[in-house]
Structure 1
Amino acid sequence: MSQPSVSVCGRTPSGLRFSSARMWMAASMVTAVFMLSNSPTPLYVRWQAQLGFSSGTLTVIFALYIAGLLGTLLVAGQLSDHYGRKPVLIPGLLAALAACWLFAHADSIAMLALGRLLSGVSVGVIVSAGMAAVVDAGGIERKSTAALLASVAMVLGAGLGPLWAGAAAQTLARPIAPIFAVEAVVLLAALGVALRVPAHRAPTRGPLRLRMPHVPAANRLHVLCGIATFGPGITATSFVLALGPSLLARLLGVRSPSLAGAMACAMFFTAVGVQFLVRKWPVARIFRASAAATAVAMASLILAIHASFTPALIVAALFAGAGQGLGQLGGLMLIGLNVPDHNRAQANAVLNIGGYIPAGLLPVATGYLIDAVGLAVAGTAFALVLGTIALAGGAWAGRRAAGA
């Protein structure tokens, strides 16, 4: 008689393979939603010309995405940890599909603003419930791998979206409807995945009392370390997404949606690649590298502005992507390894709230400063402030993570 299969953490070897397949399927939802989140990037200059709004209004439209994201993060993690991932994921994906329709038919600032708000809602769902679902699917033995996959899925989608939109805007006479039709198909496939997500509920079945997202006291330092480096990194990439195309067109004289989209794509693909390169590094070292990359990005931004040197702007985008990717990976690794399953979605929410607050406020302030004093002065001020914050946050997070 043959011996029974040896199980690992309650799973057979075939069960582990199934867990791996579920992990990749869950990650595909993250990629789909983040494709939508950055697809408008190469189109902002076109919409700005058609609808006639200022740089300040442009950054407010961009920041409404962050407002929707932050508002959703306040509740999505708690709902996901209490009721399960699926009941939260499905409405989030429906919000993304509604945003697609609004972008495809936008003929007013209000439609653009509502589309950005709903896309932020969908991202708020996916970075809490969706990324937690990836880690759930990985099982106990694959927490580090699942955290890496969740992080990579996010930045992969964030890069593919503007790459596709920029290429379509460069080659098609009327690109907007086809761009978002493709996005809708991708999101419908993600909705099919969400319908197959297994139940995952908190051990307690008591009534839910909504509050600010909660992280156990023993894990708060882990989340704060991630915020200290992820925050500056994602603020740098938000600047590139919101104002990079305008900077190319107005300051550097380059009017190319495909270049704007490719620059955003390269920024996020750099974030993907660097995470694979450093995945075995100690977390403290990852945090320090994140801060250094963001600081280099800001120095390159200043060079691009004052030397009117387009390659320096591209270098700034690549290092901004590296800074975000490293800070995000370090934060997710600490959460995945240390935060209990029933608090993980809320911890993901807090990490992203802490990162996206400066990512919304600083670019909006810079947008209005551009209207007041010009692109060169405002961009330089932004770079100096963010570079300083990044270096200070990275030094602190590196010390704390080394001693945690």
Structure 2
Amino acid sequence: MSLRTFPRTSPRTGLTLVALTLGLLVAASAAPSPIFPVYEELWGAGPAAVTVVFAVYAAVLLVALLTVGSLSDHLGRRPVVLSALVGVVASMLLFSQAHDVTTLVVGRALQGFSTGTAIGALGAWLLDLAGPARAPLAQLLNGAVPPAGLMAGGLGAGVLVQFGPAPTELTYLVLAGLLLVAAVLVLLTPDVADRVPGAARSLKPVVRLPAASRRAFTTYLPGFLGSWGLGGLCMGLGPSVVAGVLGLTNHVVGGLVVASVAGVGALTGLLTRRLAPARVMALGMAGLVVGPLVLTVGLALGSVAGFFAGALLSGVGFGAGFQGALRGVLATAPAHERAGVLSAVYVVSYLAFGLPAVVAGSLAPHLGLVHVVDGYTGLVVLAGLAGLLLVTRERRATAPVPAQARRTPCPETEAQQA
């Protein structure tokens, strides 16, 4: 049986399968975070080495987004996603056999390129399968599934590391098996997108943003920067902060840092699905102002409850900020350029995700984790304030004019009044 004759599911079932695959892909990206403290214990790798591993993933993922991020618009969703899943499985197997930082770097590079190849294609596939009638559902899934995947990956890995055997192997082997199942699900899913020519030209490193989406992209940009910058803080430094500053060495707690932000983020996205994107974005930006401030105060006081309260509030900012921004931009994206638009979204998101975390990790040995987190959260708060300003201005500009203001005065009435 060839791939062309492989039996397919209905688009409705395919929508579920693609959403599960997207969530699993993102979960695999979060899984190493609770394991980083184990590597520090086994190999003596400090925060700087951990940050290098984290940075390589983000950097290579960006390269993939800039080059092959829109390739599925030209070759089809299924072949691009299948090849990427093979790469992620290979990276999981590399991680499971890692005995030094170099192997982790190679594995993270492979994982980053594979994830960057697939993430835009999967998001566009959701929109394809949903069709115009269910486009809001696809936009919701694009915004809610990645945070849910981060939560599942971070918390699941923390539980396996704490209670399972082979803490540096089991998580990756489980994920490799699940990713192979996902590859079969992809084979079952119909690829309904129209392919456009220009695959070779699409490999030129450039962010492809259609004119119809540029104004919305600028307005919602702080939502991507602030929410994913916060995600980088939690995944890159969160487990090290709770272990090194708060003294909580249980690996489940390290996973809870990621899960609390991402889980509340996913729930917030679901609860705000009926609100207009600009209103959701405003809620998210408020969360990105209040949450990090509470988190910083809790950390300064050495309060576990205060720290996690800030993390939960930050989760509202993460979920609503990303969901509102993504829905606002996707509503303007032409059907044949969806993968390119999503790649542009993830380029800026992963820049915010990776770059501050790299700088923070390199400064931590010199300034201390507390001061680094203070500076990091300050940047997130600034993004939240900028987002509030931009989205408020946009809402005022697009608000309907009241009927009384639209009414044209009658000349005879004006003459009588005069």
What amino acid maps onto 1:71 in structure 2? V
TM-score by length of 1: 0.91
Please state if 1:89 is matched with 2:81. Answer: yes
Residue number among 351, 356, 381 corresponding to 2:375 in the alignment: 381
Preserved contact between residue 294 and residue 390 of structure 1 (Cα < 8 Å)? yes
What amino acid maps onto 2:13 in structure 1? A
Q: Which runs of 5+ in 2 are unaligned?
A: 1-8, 399-418
Change (3 A) 1:89 1:343: same
CA distance in 2 between partners of 1:141 and 1:41 (Å):
38
Please state if 1:169 is matched with 2:161. Answer: yes
Match of 1:12 in 2: none
Match of 1:272 in 2: 266
TM-score by length of 2: 0.88
The C-alpha deviation readout for 1:341-376, integer Å capped at 9, x for no partner, is 111111001111112112211111111221112122
Match of 2:113 in 1: 121
Change (3 A) 1:272 1:53: same
Match of 1:14 in 2: none
Match of 1:11 in 2: none
Q: Percent identity?
A: 27
Question: Once structures 1 and 2 are overlaid, which stretch shifts more, 17-26 or 263-272?
Answer: 17-26
- Rg larger for: 2
Change (3 A) 1:112 1:256: same
Residue number among 207, 224, 243 corresponding to 2:237 in the alignment: 243
CA distance in 2 between partners of 1:207 and 1:239 (Å):
36
Question: Once structures 1 and 2 are overlaid, which stretch shifts more, 221-230 or 252-261?
Answer: 221-230
What amino acid maps onto 2:85 in structure 1? L
Residue number among 148, 151, 158 corresponding to 1:159 in the alignment: 151
CA RMSD of aligned residues (A): 1.9
CA distance in 2 between partners of 1:206 and 1:152 (Å):
31
SS at match of 1:92: helix
Deviation (angstroms), 1:203 = 5.6
Match of 1:300 in 2: 294
Change (3 A) 1:162 1:247: same
Residue number among 126, 129, 133 corresponding to 1:134 in the alignment: 126
Preserved contact between residue 19 and residue 138 of structure 1 (Cα < 8 Å)? yes
Q: Alignment length, in residue pairs?
A: 388
The C-alpha deviation readout for 1:254-286, integer Å capped at 9, x for no partner, is 111011112322221111110111111121111
Match of 2:249 in 1: 255
Change (3 A) 1:30 1:282: same
What amino acid maps onto 1:276 in structure 2? L
Deviation (angstroms), 1:173 = 4.3
Preserved contact between residue 230 and residue 323 of structure 1 (Cα < 8 Å)? no
Preserved contact between residue 268 and residue 316 of structure 2 (Cα < 8 Å)? yes
Change (3 A) 1:207 1:79: closer
The C-alpha deviation readout for 1:96-145, integer Å capped at 9, x for no partner, is 10111111111110111122222222321232001111111111101111
Preserved contact between residue 261 and residue 318 of structure 2 (Cα < 8 Å)? no
Preserved contact between residue 232 and residue 356 of structure 2 (Cα < 8 Å)? no
What amino acid maps onto 2:115 in structure 1? V
Deviation (angstroms), 1:402 = 5.6
Match of 2:58 in 1: 66
Q: Which runs of 5+ in 1 are unaligned?
A: 1-16
Change (3 A) 1:99 1:359: same
Please state if 1:286 is matched with 2:280. Answer: yes
Question: Once structures 1 and 2 are overlaid, which stretch shifts more, 265-274 or 310-319?
Answer: 310-319
Change (3 A) 1:349 1:206: closer
What amino acid maps onto 2:286 in structure 1? A
Match of 2:102 in 1: 110
What amino acid maps onto 2:78 in structure 1? K
